[in-house]
Amino acid sequence: MRPFHYSRPGSVGEAVRALGADPGAEVIAGGTDLVTLLRDGVRAPSQLVDVNRLGLDRLSWQPNGSVHIGAMCRNAVDDSRLRRAYPGLVQALRSGASPQIRNRASFGGNLLQRTRCAYFRLPEFDCNKRNPGSGCAALNGDGAQTALFGASPSCVAVHPSDCAVALVALNAVVHVEGPAGARRIPIEEFHVLPGETPQRETALRRDELVVAIELPPAPPSHYLKFRDRTSFAFALVSAAVAVEVSGGTVRSARIALGGVAAKPWRCLAAERELVGKPFTAPSIAKAGDAATEGAKPRPGNEYKVELVRRVVRRALTELGNA
Ligand code: SF4
């Protein structure tokens, strides 16, 4: 591990200034992902800016029924109102990691965790994300975990977060602070596709800090994750669904997939199959089919197409039965 400076600012402004003053600085929150990357020589920052003492660890309910989740709230957050209002989010958090890890991992860190692509985490392999321009070992390697949607010739990795998938279905907004002040980024625009610059994973600027995640009031939601084993595994395919039904007819629907793209993948075609229709098995089946629209399977990940269809159908069915 390369030596680095460590700073522990006492305010958001101080943290932003520390990031701005050192181009090699990185934020450390819970450290559940970053510490392994430091240990394995995947990341070598000149400075770690610790954001654990900035007062960002609170849930704040707003008069309009929305909630602001501080970026340093832990993934083990246990709040009865959160469970009632956003069951899909709490299911995603609980499926994301062991209780020990969730007690450390933060919401902000969860959004910013790095891909689990094995070649990214092994410095002896070429990886455009870790070392831009070096190539992509995954293109001719094991393709089982690679992306179905939005991949590029530069990178075929997927984003590992469960929480972020639920946040897309729940129409969240990410609040950030930087040298120019505060700004709000819709969660769908927060993560970006790899294109020719897979090293750039989010819309966050280098000297900006995630301070909170805002969730507007949302319809009933549900999260379903399919993985190799029941615990401590990342999603092969997951789906978050949020559906408003009134008088037996779907008034609104948001569906997002995990494990299939470099960002949570919103399924607009599947949503269109639901809105204005009865929330019944035939429309749910059509939504599952539509969720595969635009999929571009690669050698080794063809199984994910059928998995997407089935996970979406089952997530919607379980929501309807809840
Ligand atoms: Fe690196 Fe992306 Fe290729 Fe994986 S898929 S080796 S993260 S460039």
| φ, ψ dihedrals at 252, nearest 5° | -150, 155
Whether the CB-CB separation of 304 and 158 falls below 8 Å is answered with no
Residue whose C-alpha is closest to residue 94's, from 188, 230, 263:
230
What does the pLDDT look like over 267-309, one tens digit per residue?
A: 999 999 999 999 999 999 999 999 999 999 999 999 999 999 9
Cβ neighbors of 82 (< 8 A, separation 6 or more) are 59, 67, 89, 90
Mutate to test the pocket of ligand 1, among 116, 119, 121, 130 (most ligand atoms within 8 A of CB): 119
DSSP per-residue letters across 226-260: E-SSSSS---SEEEEEEEEEETTEEEEEEEEEESS
C-alpha angle 8/46/17, rounded to 5°? 50
Residue nearest to atom 7 of ligand 1 (CA): 120
Q: What is the pLDDT at residue 232? A: 79
Pocket of ligand 1 (CB under 6 A): 115, 117, 119-120, 127-129, 136-138, 155-157, 198
Between CA 168 and CA 182 the distance in angstroms is 21
Tokens at residue 201, please?
């994973």
Quick: pLDDT tens for 120-165.
Answer: 999 999 999 999 999 999 999 999 999 999 999 999 999 999 999 9
| Distance between Cα 199 and ligand 1 center (Å) | 9
Give all domains of the chain, ordered by start, each with its CATH number. Answer: 1-51 (3.30.43.10), 221-321 (3.30.390.50)
Q: Rounding to the nearest 10 degrees, give the CA dihedral for residues 284, 286, 289, 291.
A: -60
Q: Are 168 and 256 in contact (CB under 8 A)?
A: yes
Q: Which residues of the chain have pLDDT under 50?
A: none
Residues in the chain: 322
C-alpha closest to that of 210 among 29, 6, 18, 64: 29
What's the CA-to-centroid distance between 157 and ligand 1, angstroms?
A: 5
Q: Is the pTM of this model over 0.95?
A: yes
Residue of the CA atom closest to atom 2 of ligand 1: 155
Which residue owns the Cα nearest ligand 1 atom 3?
A: 136
